[in-house]
Every structure is written in structure tokens, then in C-alpha cells.
A and B are shown apart, each in its own frame.
Chain A
Amino acid sequence: MSELPGDLTYTKEHEWLRQEEDGSITIGITDHAQTALGDLVYVELPEVGQEVENGGEMAVVESVKAASDVYAPIGGTVTQVNDALADDPEMINADPYGDGWIVRLQPSGDAGETMDPDAYQAFIYALDE
């Protein structure tokens, strides 16, 4: 298991959030999630400008094995999507916390519950047992 980046927060849906300096939030899926999914082959992204609710479906990542929804961990407006994933979905496998980011939101609504790296690490250990 690789080290979890310390500057991110995490959700029970195995997504990560990064607070950007401009107030926006970048969202992706965790290394644990990409490992469980296997090789990714398709990512369905939202439209820029789309409003999303906290907990609502925001994107879909599909692997060789299964489709998995990506839920908005906070309400807001989509300001940017990672278009490079359309041709290169396996970037999520290769670099889930970097080039494999999925969506950037300008938050406006409620935030869901998130965990710090230690709490998320404990959460995934508990799942594996």
C-alpha cells in the first residue's frame, strides 16, 4: 500500500479532495479505489458549469471489470474537468493523486464528511479485514 498524500482529505467512497488556493476543490479517486477497479478504460465526465449536489453522481469511471459512480463530495459548480482522461483513462491507474485527477469544483453548498489521511488509512485497513 502506497503512502497517502498528507495534503488531501478522503471520503468513504474512496475519493480524495484537494483544497486549491483559488478556493476550488480538485477531486479524484484514491489508489485503493483504482486498485480495486483494475485497468480503467473509460471515464464519463460532467460538463463544465454543471451544478452538482453533495452526494450526487458527478462522473463515472469504468474499468475492465465494472462501472463505478464518482459522487460529488461537496455541492458546487464544475469549473474544470480532466479532458485528458477521455483518451487516457489509465492515467487514473498510473497517477491517481496527480495527473489522474477527475473534476474541479467551486464549492457553494454543503460538504460531506471527510477523513484525514490517518483516518482514511484506518478505514481501508478495516475494510480489508
Chain B
Amino acid sequence: MGSQTPLYGCHVEAGARIVDFGGWDMPLHYGSQLEEHHAVRKHAGVFDVSHMTVVDLSGAGAKEFLRRLLANDVAKLKEQGKALYSCMLNTDGGVIDDLITYYLAPDRYRMIVNAATRNKDLAWINEQAAAHAVDVAERPELAMIAVQGPNARSLAAAVIGDQWREAALALQPFYALEAGDLFIARTGYTGEDGWEIVMPVAQAAGFWRQCLDAGIKPCGLGARDTLRLEAGMNLYGADMDESISPLEAGLGWTIAWDPQDRDFIGRGPLTEMRANPDRRRFSGLLLESKGVLRNHQRVVVEGKDDGEITSGGFSPTLERSIAMARIPAGEYKHAQVEVRNRLLDVRVVSMPFVRNGKIRIDL
């Protein structure tokens, strides 16, 4: 048996199929993963993401520390509550984790990192923090619930106290608000509008039940994965890891190269890789025929080295199979994927596949 979030009992009560995810007993689905996926695209779904790790950073040196720790630059964060997506790199430029940092005050930031990488992340962050005037505090006493979908905010607003409702609804995308006990962020991992809400463990079950009462559908990790795949959002451990740089994981846009004198960890090796025209691309694939693309399948490109699918699956919105893949450099629109000893045609497409309920590629 793994670790359990404060909502474990709610999941069992709702008939969840429980699976191990990074040492946590988490809901895979509550009956039908496909229905949960469609609910988020068309209406509203609620996810328990309490397994994720909340880390608060405070102190006069917090900003300079994060400018060293992260490949993206927290100096871009000028407004209270603004969020920044970034990779945290090792000294070789490989990705230790991807995370979101929220700017709360000049000497106070909140980071939310992945569950499966918790131990190594905390060890790395604490090791790097030793040289800075910063206090690093994990917040295991907090739970996190994500409500996602076109109607998620309007429905979940009823669950938020009167005092904070208006301010919460006024949040712009990628901004967060400290609302008493709650921390409400207009962020997510589905490609739909919504909030991720951090709260004391003691409030989590009540909040969850009120979301269900408001007509928001409980959704498991299965739907979370197909939603993020359609949205072109990377999954740590599948699409990138410590041996892969953000440049080969489609995350070049998250690297802040300017100012040039900012010496973030991994900058040197990353600069060399950036100059290499042969570095692999990260792209979306659309299967032209029926079938399902899966992780680790071989991508065959005529006259080039093989590529590999890093995340593949069935897209419920497109009703076709899609994938993210690391493929050889160059401009080409067609490739093949080896599926059970047969080569199937795929089209190389730019991501996202789906965003805000709309299909974004030509089928």
C-alpha cells in the first residue's frame, strides 16, 4: 500500500479504481476514463492532485536563489500572484523536474513540483539553497484540488467563501490569489480553463464533496493523462528526465536566455546544445489510420535516425491516436511508427492537439 491523500476515502466511496502512482494510491478512473475526459472538455471535472508537492520559499535571498535554480527567470514575475512554468536542471542541462513557481511577495514564492520526484527535488533544492538566504519549507499539511473545464470556475465559485469569490473569479490565466486558508490559481494540466486550489488537509474532503454536489465530475489520473496529452503538455518521466534537456523536450520556450549574465544551473551545457543544428525535435504525431500509438514505440523517418514516442495514446476528442515524440532534426511532415512489427503512417503536427475544447490540428 502506498501513501494516501486526504481524499482517499472519497475516491473509494465514489467507486474509483485505485492505482499506484509514484508511491501514491490514486484514482485511475471512477468508471469511465472517456466520460471523465469529455466532461472536462465540455463541462467540468475535479481532480485530486494532493499527491503533488508544495514547497514555500522565503527570505531576502529567495529571488536570487530561484534565478540560479530555474532555467526560466523569476525576475519576469512582477505582479503579485503571477505564475511561471520552468524546468529545474542538473549541471548537465538535464531536467530534474518541471514545476510552477508563484510569486507571492518580494521575498516569498510558492513552488509546486511533481509527486514522483519529491525526494530528489527536495534534496536538490535544499542542497542548492545552502548558499542563499532562503528558507525552504515543504507543506505536507496542504491538499490540492484541481477543477478544470469550461464551466469549472463558475461552478466551483459556489464552493469558495463569499469573501473571496469575486477576487477568485477576477483572476487572469496563470495568476494566483491567497484567499485566507485557500490558495487559488488559474492554472491546470488539461488545456481547459479552471483553478488549482491548495487548502488545509482538514478542508479537502468537504471541498471535494461540495464540488461533486455542484455537478462537477470526479476525474482520475487516466483522464488527466489523455487531457494533458491532447493539450501538448509534457509529463515528467515520460517526455523528459535527467538525461534530456528542455531543448529536446519541446520546452525551449521556458528557458530564459536573457539576461545573458544570469548563471542558472545547466546554462553552460544548454548553450552548447542550443548551437547544435542536429539536436532532436520534439513534436506531435497523428496516426493516419486506426490503432493506438504507445510510449517507446520507434518512429521511422526516411533517411534519418530513428525517433521515439515519449507519450502516446488515444485522443478521445479527436477519436484518433496521437503522440508526443522525440524525432530527428529537419523539416518533414510524414513518418512511420512501428506498432507490433508493422509500420503505420503518421503525420508530424505541431501541438497542442486540443485547447479550450477546440481541435487545433487538421484531421
CB within 8 Å of A: which residues of B? Answer: 17, 28-29, 32-34, 222, 226, 290-292, 294, 313-314, 316, 321, 340
A12 at the interface (CB under 8 A from B): no
Give, as a whole number of angstroms, the nearest-CB distance from B251 to chain A. 26
Instruction: Check B226–A64 contact: CB distance below 8 A.
Output: yes
Contact of B294 among A44, A67, A90, A93 (CB under 8 A): A67
A86 at the interface (CB under 8 A from B): yes
Q: Which residues of A contact B17 (CB under 8 A)?
A: 38
**What are 16 A-to-B residue pairs whose CB atoms are below 8 Å?**
A38-B17, A38-B28, A38-B33, A38-B222, A39-B33, A41-B292, A41-B314, A42-B292, A42-B314, A62-B314, A64-B33, A64-B34, A65-B28, A66-B294, A67-B292, A93-B32
Closest Cβ neighbor of A60 among chain B residues: B340
Instruction: Check B314–A64 contact: CB distance below 8 A.
Output: yes
Give, as a whole number of angstroms, the nearest-CB distance from B337 to chain A. 13
Q: Which residues of A contact B34 (CB under 8 A)?
A: 39, 41, 64, 90
Q: Which 7 A-B pairs have the closest CB atoms?
A: A41-B314, A62-B292, A39-B34, A64-B33, A39-B33, A42-B292, A38-B33
Q: Which residues of B contact A39 (CB under 8 A)?
A: 32-34
14 further A-B contacts with Cβ under 8 Å, apart from A44-B291, A65-B28, are: A38-B17, A38-B28, A38-B222, A39-B32, A41-B314, A42-B314, A42-B321, A62-B291, A62-B292, A64-B222, A64-B313, A65-B222, A90-B34, A93-B32
Give, as a whole number of angstroms, the nearest-CB distance from A84 to chain B. 14
CA A125 – CA B290 in complex, angstroms?
A: 35
CB within 8 Å of B: which residues of A? Answer: 38-39, 41-42, 44, 60, 62, 64-67, 86, 90, 93
CA A67 – CA B314 in complex, angstroms?
A: 11
CA A65 – CA B33 in complex, angstroms?
A: 9
Closest Cβ neighbor of A35 among chain B residues: B17
Closest Cβ neighbor of A38 among chain B residues: B33
Closest Cβ neighbor of A90 among chain B residues: B34
CA A49 – CA B222 in complex, angstroms?
A: 37
Q: Which residues of A contact B222 (CB under 8 A)?
A: 38, 64-65
CA A41 – CA B292 in complex, angstroms?
A: 8
Give, as a whole number of angstroms, the nearest-CB distance from B204 to chain A. 26
Give, as a whole number of angstroms, the nearest-CB distance from A36 to chain B. 9
Instruction: Check B29–A42 contact: CB distance below 8 A.
Output: no
Closest Cβ neighbor of A43 among chain B residues: B290
CA A44 – CA B339 in complex, angstroms?
A: 12
CA A41 – CA B291 in complex, angstroms?
A: 8
Closest Cβ neighbor of B319 among chain A residues: A41
Contact of A42 among B28, B33, B291, B316 (CB under 8 A): B291
Give, as a whole number of angstroms, the nearest-CB distance from A60 to chain B. 7
Q: Which residues of A contact B28 (CB under 8 A)?
A: 38, 65
CA A64 – CA B17 in complex, angstroms?
A: 14
Q: Which residues of B contact A60 (CB under 8 A)?
A: 340
Q: Which residues of B contact A67 (CB under 8 A)?
A: 292, 294, 340
Q: Which residues of B contact A44 (CB under 8 A)?
A: 291
Give, as a whole number of angstroms, the nearest-CB distance from A45 to chain B. 11
Instruction: Check B313–A42 contact: CB distance below 8 A.
Output: no
Give, as a whole number of angstroms, the nearest-CB distance from B37 to chain A. 8
